[in-house]
């Protein structure tokens, strides 16, 4: 079965640089979610999109922005990177017509900020 695709899988950036993470949801899934997981931490909800509109917002820094495109893929843009942004970034997707809160996660993008 098709899964959530994230790219790149690994990313190394310097402080103050920018990064763009991409997420391709499972086919026919219309909602995407972004989570940040620091070392030894639980995933923290950042933001979600349904039908290209932001549907919920969590603890996402103002330096970060995200959007969902017409093909339902999503991009997380991160600017002025800080050392503390080093983490695993997960994208998850779900189908609105499916079971509530049933989110399927991608393999993650490991961001390292030097």
Interface positions, 39-98, toward other proteins (CB under 8 A): 41-45, 48, 55-56, 58, 88, 90, 92
The smaller minimum CB distance to other proteins, of residues 35 and 64, is found at 35
CB of 38 to other proteins, least distance (A): 11
The smaller minimum CB distance to other proteins, of residues 20 and 37, is found at 37
The angle formed by the CA atoms of residues 90, 59 and 19, to the nearest 5 degrees, is 50
Q: Which residue has the tokens 């030894």?
A: 40
User: Is the separation of the CB atoms in 32 and 49 below 8 Å?
Assistant: yes
**Separation CA 100–CA 12 (nearest Å):** 35
**Separation CA 23–CA 99 (nearest Å):** 21
Q: Which stretch binds other proteins (CB under 8 A): 15-23, 60-68, 72-80, 105-113?
A: 105-113
Residues lying near other proteins in the complex (CB under 8 A) are found at 4, 31, 33, 35, 41-45, 48, 55-56, 58, 88, 90, 92, 99-108, 110
């Amino acid at each position: 079965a098709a899964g959530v695709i994230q790219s790149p899988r690994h990313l190394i950036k310097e402080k103050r640089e920018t990064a763009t993470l991409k997420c391709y949801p499972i086919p026919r899934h219309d909602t995407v979610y972004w989570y940040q997981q620091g070392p030894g931490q639980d995933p923290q909800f950042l933001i979600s999109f349904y039908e290209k509109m932001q549907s919920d917002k969590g603890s996402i820094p103002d330096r970060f922005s995200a959007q969902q495109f017409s093909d339902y893929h999503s991009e997380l843009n991160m600017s002025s990177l800080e050392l503390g942004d080093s983490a695993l970034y997960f994208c998850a997707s779900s189908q609105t017509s499916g079971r509530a809160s049933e989110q399927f996660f991608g393999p993650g993008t490991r961001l390292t900020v030097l």
